[in-house]
Amino acid sequence: MILAAIGLFHLANGLFMAADPGGWYFATPGVPQTGPMNHHFIVDIGLAFSASGAGLLFTFRAGRAAAAFVLAGAIRPALHAIFHIIEWLSHGVPPDLAAAAAEGLGVIVVGLLGLALAARQFAIEESSNVEIAFSSQDRPNGAGFRL
């Protein structure tokens, strides 16, 4: 359920960015302090967040393919989180409490938690879907089968 909530968060954020770049720019704490609004860039990033959110929503499906979509959906927000950590280490935590909270929780925690949970789900699916195949060449009686 946590992965689904993270997926919905990214999908909603991405759709907000793509549909109303100016509204997103001014509504998100700390963003106006990063420089002038770039409509094209905000829409591009919004589409990336939308794709990540959609991938994370595959958490409702079972199987290796679904788990791979979840993992792929988690990678972009996790890279975004790592970039923000590097920025904090290089330039310090934003002095504005609302901006620091938005980055800390909405970017860093959500991004890294999503990746950790997606990697766990992928590992579980991988370990539960082990297939052992024996060809007819491996069997003395010539019969082949799959487990």
Asked if residue 29 lies in contact with residue 99, where contact means CB atoms within 8 angstroms, the answer is yes
CA 72 – CA 69 distance, rounded (Å): 5
Number of domains in the chain: 1
- Rounded to 5°, angle at Cα 12 from 57 and 51: 50
Helix, strand counts (H, E) of the chain: 6, 2
Which burial class, exposed, middle or buried, applies to 61 when counting CB atoms under 10 A from its CB (0-12, 13-18, 19+)?
exposed
The model's pTM: 0.75
pLDDT of 135: 53
Asked if residue 112 lies in contact with residue 68, where contact means CB atoms within 8 angstroms, the answer is no
pLDDT of 142: 54
Chain segment 33-72, per-residue pLDDT in tens: 889 999 999 999 999 999 999 999 988 888 888 889 999 9
pLDDT of 136: 54
- Most confident region among 16-25, 29-38, 52-61, 111-120 by mean pLDDT: 16-25
Note down the domain range covering 41: 2-146
Chain segment 77-95, per-residue pLDDT in tens: 999 999 999 999 999 999 9
- Give the side-chain half-sphere CA count within 13 A for 139: 10
